[in-house]
Amino acid sequence: MNNIPGKILFDRHEIDRRVNELAEEIGHDYTGKDMVVVGILKVAFMFFADLIRRLPNQPAIDFARLASYGSDSTGSGSVEIRKDIEISIEGRDVLIIEDIIDTGITVNAFIEQLKKRRPRSLRVCTLLDKRERREVELPVDYAGFIIDGGFVVGYGLDYDEKYRCLPDIYILDEERLSGGGL
C-alpha cells in the first residue's frame, strides 16, 4: 500500500511555524485572563497539544467530542455532542480549538450550547478554515490556514480513521475517497 495519501498541502515545518504564530497571538490576547481551552476530539488533538504547550499563560484544559461525520467525506448535517466539557466556564474566557471548520454547523451548534453556560468570552481557533463551504455565520477568531476545496488528512485529520498520525497535511487523492487504495 502506498503510504502517501495525496499531495502535501502543508508540511510539518509550515504547520510548526504557523502554530508558533497562533500561540503568540493567542497568548497576547489572553494575558491576565481566566482562560479555558476546549479541544475538540479526536481530530484536533495534535494541533491542540502543540498549541497549548506554546501558550505563555497556563489555561485550564477540557475536551469535547462532537460528531457530524461518519465514514463519508461529506457532513451529515446533524451534530451530536458525544463528550461534553466537565469544568465550569461561567465567567471565564473560553477558546475552542478545532482542526478544521468548513460548513460551520458543528462548531456553531457547540458554541450555542456553551453560551448557555455564560462564559465571559467565547472565541474559536482552527488550524484550517474552509470559508468557501460555510453554511452558517461563524466567527473564527484565529485561523492557521485558509484553504479551498479538497479533503485533507494528516496531523490529526483522518478519513475513515486513517492517516491521522501523518506529520504533514495532505489533500487526499480522489481514488482513495472513492474506495480505491485504502
Hey, how many other C-beta atoms are within 10 angstroms of the C-beta on 123? Answer: 19
Residue predicted with more confidence, 178 or 149: 149
Strands 93-101, 121-129: pairing is: parallel
Residue 81 has pLDDT above 90, yes or no: no
- Domain ranges (residues) in the chain: 10-150
User: Distance between terminal CA atoms of the chain?
Assistant: 8
Residues carrying an active site annotation:
102
CATH class of 10-150: alpha beta
Residue 78's pLDDT band (cuts 50, 70, 90): low
Residue 157 has pLDDT above 90, yes or no: yes
Rounded to whole angstroms, how far apart are CA atoms 59 and 35? 5
pLDDT digits 0-9 by tens, 84-101: 999 999 999 999 999 999
Percent of the chain with pLDDT over 90: 72
Which residue in the block uniquely carries the three cell numbers 451529515?
76
pLDDT digits 0-9 by tens, 42-70: 889 999 999 999 998 899 999 999 887 54
Q: What is the DSSP string of 76-103?
A: -S--EEEE---S--TTSEEEEEEEEESS
Task: Give the model's pLDDT for residue 179.
Answer: 59
Q: Tell me which residue of 51, 52, 102, 108 sits closest to 79, measured CA to CA.
A: 108
